[in-house]
Structure 1
Amino acid sequence: MKTKQILRIVLLVGTPISLYFVPWTLLFAWLAPLPGTVGEEVQASLKHDFDGILVYVDQKGAEPEYYAAGWHNREEEIPARPDALFKIASIGKLYDAVLITKLLGAQRLSLDNTLADYFPEWVGRIEHAERITIRMLVQHRSGIPNLTDTPDFWINPPKSSEEALKRVLDLPADFEPGAAYAYSNTNYLLLSELMEKVLGYGKFQYMQEQIFQPLGLKNTFGSLLEVNLKELMSGYYIGVEEDIKMTDYGSMIATAEDVGIFLRALNEGSLFTGDEQEIYSSIYVYEHTGLIPGYQSIARYHKDIDTVVVQFVNTTNFDGYTWSLSEITFNRIGKILRKRLGA
């Protein structure tokens, strides 16, 4: 049976018996005695059915710390490497929000302009296009349906942005523009299209100019086509034996270190000039998570201890308990760091 067929069965059926045990699994994970070091916690997290985990810690004034446990590639028994590339999924929205901020600061975009102002051809195809503002897109308040919720998206992902957009064209809105909040990947697909229209060239080139080059990031990429696949950490979905890293959902790819360097610059404001910091603060958040089949990630700045922590886990499942266990592990690492610093 092919990977897509198996994944379809797992996604549709799930593993009902695990639902019974999940609360106890989470409770035991949360209440387990806290080890003395981050490295011990990372190693202990493998009992949560994680195939592999990477953690990057950047405490202000100290040398960065790198941790890895489990497998980089399970089939070939290659141990996890802290410098591995990883699909960062929705963490990429932080980078997009920075680019939007740059264009706003340069007055090449306006938050109050509407989708129809830039794409009149979508009037009638995207409900309320003439009322949906750029601000609403950035803040997930547009009401446009989420393209990743459309049938079979994860089984047969679209091969282009045009194909992805077709999945939501002519669908009714989830709510009136600005009336509610609902996370929608469609918003950021549209923002990417908008940026490229305004720029006249690729968004990722602009990202290199505005983010990667100033920060010296050399291990962040726009797609699978740009990377050495041996450097990309394998991705696993519980119930599917095969490595699914070649399934392309359009995610950015980066090392934990590169994400951590970016996140610190974002939170400290060194990425911005003029009034860009104020603009960014008014439109988007300063931390993010990412989740696609085989890859889950958390990138967060702990202001109270001036520490950036990035965590990658290369295992996901239908029921979501691996996500909950990943969050528990991340929070326990935060406790260890605070205890170490006497905070």
Structure 2
Amino acid sequence: MNKWQKITLKVLLAFSLTTTSIYFFAPWEYALYYLTPVPSTIEEQVNEATTQGIDGIIVYVQKANNPAQLYVSGWHNRQEKIPAYGNALFKIASIAKLYKAAAVTKLAASKQLELDKNIADYLPQLAERIEYADQITLRMLVEHRSGIPNFTDQDGFDWASNSLDVLSLVLDKPADFEPGTDYAYSNTNYLLLEKIMTETLGYHYSRYIKNEILLPLNLNSTFFSINEVDSEQLMSGYYVGYDQDFKHLDQGYVASAQDVGIFLRALNDGSLFTPKERKIYASLYEYNHTGWVLGYSSIARYHPDIDTVVIQFTNTTGEDRVILTGIIYDRIMSILRSQ
């Protein structure tokens, strides 16, 4: 297992932590921090995060019909000593899967895609190179029940590379399990969905998401690549033990915390969808997500018990920082629930 495979495994494990596992598996300093008194305000908690080893943090909170609140601390750019600010852009990583699942939903509702057709139907050129391609449906891809190996777990994958043909890392590989018989999170599933949407539409799938999701919600600070944005607006990303800034890596979607928050509210309250689309999405995918790429960790969740959307961006990864970000998020939620 190479270095970045180990990082991937750690990320997946860390985001599924329970309170019990924090006690037993977190580094001792994080376990002790977990037990310290929670501050009385979110401002205090956000400021406290930077004393625990987070370079910069942005938190977006939007409750019921109230205006959203943004809380920031630390550095937007550590080298240039630029303080963090609330409307900065950030790499949202796997949170983007929510947008893609919503797009698949809309295309299925309009009968442009059929959820129970298979990969071989839509991508016949890959039929002989993906095991069970004639059995793996679009629905299985969305739900992570395909059994197709995750390209980020493969030998040769490098988080710090912009030039890898990541699909080639899993072609001609045996499946992890027979389609529909198990669940395993795989980034390859959504890479294939991107290709299927693009082939079906006749233009890049991102244009569809922009027209059908971003523009109707007035999400003007959501982009599909760092190449579409002013790099000065993009928050820097750091990995513990390295001095360099990883913002130059093109690692997918970029958005402001407010844009993610608006999207997540619309996804959860159903206003993003027609009634038909709402029913389809409810059968397909989740309503909250986390994200991780080199230098960037994010959490996007809606909490129905207090009717509140809370988005958290932190720009420091490595050395179990992903565990720390989960603890910080939980402490913020304790503050919100006590108010």
Scaled by the length of structure 2, the TM-score of the pair is: 0.91
SS across alignment from 1:138? helix
Contact residue 88 and residue 256 of structure 2 kept, 8 A: yes
Matched residue, 1:236: 238
Among the aligned pairs, what percent are the same residue?
Answer: 51
Shift of 1:334: 0.7
Verify: 1:323 aligned to 2:322, yes or no: yes
Verify: 1:207 aligned to 2:209, yes or no: yes
Contact residue 35 and residue 336 of structure 1 kept, 8 A: yes
* Amino acid across the alignment from 1:64: A
Shift of 1:248: 2.1
The range that moved more, 120-129 or 262-271, is 120-129
Matched residue, 1:33: 37
Matched residue, 1:85: 89
Verify: 1:254 aligned to 2:255, yes or no: yes
Kindly report the root-mean-square deviation, in angstroms, between the aligned alpha carbons of the 2 structures. 1.9
Matched residue, 2:294: 293
Matched residue, 1:275: 276
Shift of 1:124: 1.7
SS across alignment from 2:331? helix
Matched residue, 2:135: 131
Shift of 1:63: 1.7
Name the CA distance, whole Å, in 1 between partners of 2:107 and 2:192: 15
Matched residue, 2:333: 334
Name the CA distance, whole Å, in 1 between partners of 2:215 and 2:193: 22
Name the CA distance, whole Å, in 2 between partners of 1:339 and 1:155: 39
Matched residue, 1:189: 191
Name the CA distance, whole Å, in 2 between partners of 1:21 and 1:283: 32
Shift of 1:120: 1.5
The residue correspondences of 1:44-55 to structure 2 (distance < 5 A) are 44-55=48-59
Matched residue, 1:61: 65
Which ranges in structure 2 are unaligned for 5 or more consecutive residues? 11-23
The residue correspondences of 1:101-116 to structure 2 (distance < 5 A) are 101-116=105-120
Shift of 1:67: 0.7
Name the CA distance, whole Å, in 2 between partners of 1:143 and 1:21: 29
The residue correspondences of 1:16-27 to structure 2 (distance < 5 A) are 22-27=26-31
SS across alignment from 1:206? helix
Which ranges in structure 1 are unaligned for 5 or more consecutive residues? 1-6, 15-19
* Amino acid across the alignment from 1:324: I
Matched residue, 2:104: 100
> How many residues are paired up?
322
* CA offsets 1:107-164 (integer angstroms, 9 cap, x no match): 111111010111122122011101101111000010101011122422553537xx22
* Residues 155, 188 of structure 1: alpha-carbon distance in 2 compared, 3 angstrom cutoff: closer
* Residues 282, 57 of structure 1: alpha-carbon distance in 2 compared, 3 angstrom cutoff: same
Shift of 1:21: 9.7
Name the CA distance, whole Å, in 2 between partners of 1:313 and 1:156: 18
Matched residue, 1:17: none
Shift of 1:222: 0.5
Contact residue 56 and residue 65 of structure 1 kept, 8 A: yes
The range that moved more, 21-30 or 187-196, is 21-30
SS across alignment from 1:67? strand
The ranges of structure 1 where at least 4 consecutive aligned residues each deviate by more than 6 angstroms after the TM superposition are none
SS across alignment from 2:27? helix
SS across alignment from 2:184? coil
SS across alignment from 2:291? strand
Name the CA distance, whole Å, in 1 between partners of 2:35 and 2:327: 10
Name the CA distance, whole Å, in 2 between partners of 1:149 and 1:158: 16
Matched residue, 1:140: 144
Name the CA distance, whole Å, in 2 between partners of 1:169 and 1:27: 41
- Counterpart of 1:225 (choices 214, 224, 227) is 227
Name the CA distance, whole Å, in 2 between partners of 1:177 and 1:64: 42
Shift of 1:52: 0.5
The residue correspondences of 1:147-166 to structure 2 (distance < 5 A) are 147-155=151-159, 157=161, 159=163, 163-166=165-168
SS across alignment from 2:216? helix
Contact residue 159 and residue 294 of structure 2 kept, 8 A: no
* Amino acid across the alignment from 2:324: L
Name the CA distance, whole Å, in 1 between partners of 2:159 and 2:106: 35
* Amino acid across the alignment from 1:128: Y
Shift of 1:298: 0.2
Matched residue, 1:3: none
* Amino acid across the alignment from 1:80: A
Scaled by the length of structure 1, the TM-score of the pair is: 0.90
Contact residue 158 and residue 164 of structure 1 kept, 8 A: no
Contact residue 48 and residue 322 of structure 1 kept, 8 A: no
Name the CA distance, whole Å, in 1 between partners of 2:303 and 2:26: 28
Matched residue, 2:18: none
* CA offsets 1:285-314 (integer angstroms, 9 cap, x no match): 000000011000000001000000000000
Shift of 1:61: 2.3
Shift of 1:48: 2.1
